[in-house]
Amino acid sequence: MSPMMRATTDNGLLAPVPDADGAPFWDFAARGELRIQICSDCREPRFPPRPCCPKCHSFTSSWRLTSGTGHIWSYVRPHPPLLPGYAAHAPYNVVLVELADAPGIRLVGNLVASPDAEIDSAAPEDLRIGAAVRAVFPRVQGMALPRWTPERS
């Protein structure tokens, strides 16, 4: 069975298929931590993770804990035709979140009403560019999949 076959969950959603560089991100997410790869030598953060630093070429890196907060940079609402597991929730949202403490790093995710809510659960008024959001870590087929909830100030 291919990795992607295993990655399709019971409800038809795709689970991440980490590569060697990305695996630590998902391991930290399983502990409820949103961490970003940074260069151990020049301290430059980078995403997606990769073997060496594009700035100083060091092969040594570490994973810096972030605050898990950010704001919505953009979003879409996909409609069918879609894979069946996603079509069941259409239109849902996909957000791009710019991290508060790592500007320029933007994570794709879903805005949800609560940590374990479905991908079509967010209130329409919460789905807007600039809205503050906080990471949550629901489990999808045993893997923690960081999603986002509205940050109430």
Partner 1 sequence: MAMRTTAAPLKDATAIVGIGQTPFAKQLPESEKTLACRAILAALDDAGIAPSEVDAFASYTMEETDEVEVAKSIGAGDVTFFSRVGYGGGGSCATVAHLAAAITTGQATVGVAWRSRKRGSGPRPWRNTQAQLPTPAQWTRPYGLLRPVDEIAMLARRYMHEYGATRDHFFNVALACRNRANQNPAAIMYDRPLTREMYMTSRWISEPLCLFDNCLETDGALACVVVPAERARDCRAAPVYIHSVAQALPAQHHGMVNYWTESPLTGPSWTAARHLWKHADFGPCDVHVAQIYDAFTPLIPLSLEGYGFCGRGEGAAFTEGGALELGGRLPLNTGGGGLSEAYVHGFNLINEGVRQLRGSSTAQVPGAATCLVTAGEGVPTSALLLRS
Give residues in contact with partner 1 (CB under 8 A).
Answer: 2-5, 7-8, 13-19, 21-22, 26, 47-48, 54, 73-79, 81-83, 86, 89, 91-92, 94, 96, 104-110, 119, 129, 140, 145, 147
Assess contact for 9 and 37: CB atoms under 8 A.
no
Nearest distance from C-beta of residue 69 to partner 1, angstroms: 18
Q: Which is nearer to partner 1, 110 or 149 (CB)?
A: 110
Are 94 and 20 in contact, with CB atoms under 8 Å apart?
no
**d(C-alpha 148, C-alpha 68), whole Å:** 9
- In angstroms, the CA 22 to CA 3 distance is 15
Closest CB 126 distance from partner 1, rounded Å: 15
Nearer to partner 1, 47 or 63 (CB): 47
Nearest CB to partner 1, comparing residues 6 and 43:
6
Minimum distance, C-beta of residue 108 to partner 1, in the bound complex (Å): 5
Q: How far is the CB of 54 from partner 1 (least distance, A)?
A: 7
Nearest CB to partner 1, comparing residues 88 and 151: 88
Can you tell me which residue has the tokens 């605050």?
Answer: 67
Question: How many degrees, rounded to 5, is the angle at CA 67 between CA 64 and CA 71?
Answer: 120
Structure tokens at 147: 């999603």
The smaller minimum CB distance to partner 1, of residues 22 and 151, is found at: 22
Let me know: does 119 contact 89? Beta carbons within 8 Å.
yes
